[in-house]
Amino acid sequence: MKFFAIVGSGRVGGNTDRLTDAFLKGAAERGHQIAKLHLGETEVRPCLGCNACAQDGVCIQADGMERLLPAFLDCDVVVLATPVYFWGISAQLKAAIDRLYALGEKDPKGYYRYPQKRCVLLATAADSDRHFWTFELMEHYYRRLARYLRWTDLGILTAGGCGGTAVPRCIDTTDHLRRAYRFGQSVGASLP
Ligand SMILES: Cc1cc2nc3c(=O)[nH]c(=O)nc-3n(C[C@H](O)[C@H](O)[C@H](O)COP(=O)(O)O)c2cc1C
């Protein structure tokens, strides 16, 4: 199967990027194809809400979404990777998710339908995993999103205690990269 990771962090080579690479490595070792797009390198601007895409499914903005969409449409598993920013996902990842709006097609009942995917959430934060609130809102949002889009949720990996962004790559001093690698292996092993 094809895994496509969208890394919604501003820091290339940062905690979230490292966590994603570890996860993808595990999945690749189970025989899957992997691809990654880092939104710190490829800018995806926010949805304008202009609804121009409702006419022909094409967004009027020319930006990184032109790179993201083909990989997204082609993949079987979408890996959403983000740092916690004020208890939620990053604006970078949110912008990319919002822009999927252009892919919605109305069914006979008038409900929007989106391409069917499996999905995973990978998240890093400065605060500890031990506080229930560190990832609470993000997990809730992700589960609601997956349910609305009718995607199959393959799981969440939260990596707390990664330090703030003033520190280069604090995640290297934690156990999270090993956890993400194992998670990638187990998700990979569960898929044909
Ligand atoms: C704007 C901003 C908001 C943040 N908000 C939170 C937060 O609410 N909770 C938290 O634990 N960490 C917060 N952090 C810390 C990051 O989640 C953490 O450093 C993360 O690992 C950074 O990932 P990166 O290395 O991929 O950039 C915030 C960082 C920034 C820059």
**Which CATH superfamily hosts domain 2-189?**
Flavodoxin domain (3.40.50.360)
Secondary structure E strands in 11-160: 33-38, 77-83, 105-106, 112-113, 118-124, 152-159
Cβ 153 under 6 angstroms from ligand 1: no
Reduced to 3 states (helix: H, G, I; strand: E, B; else coil), residue 26 is: helix
- Contact indicator for 81, 123 with CB cutoff of 8 Å: yes
Q: What is the pLDDT along the chain (192 residues), one digit of tens a residue?
A: 999 999 999 999 999 999 999 999 999 999 999 999 999 999 999 999 999 998 888 999 999 999 999 999 999 999 999 999 999 999 999 999 999 999 999 999 988 999 999 999 999 999 998 898 999 999 999 999 999 999 999 999 999 999 999 887 899 999 999 999 999 999 999 999
Of 18, 23, 85, 128, the residue with max ligand 1 atoms within 8 A of its CB, to mutate for a pocket test, comes to 85
pTM: 0.97
Domain boundary assignment for the chain: 2-189
Expressed in angstroms and rounded, the spacing between residue 165 Cα and the centre of ligand 1 is 6
Residue type, 87: W
Closest atom, ligand 1, to C-alpha of 17: 26
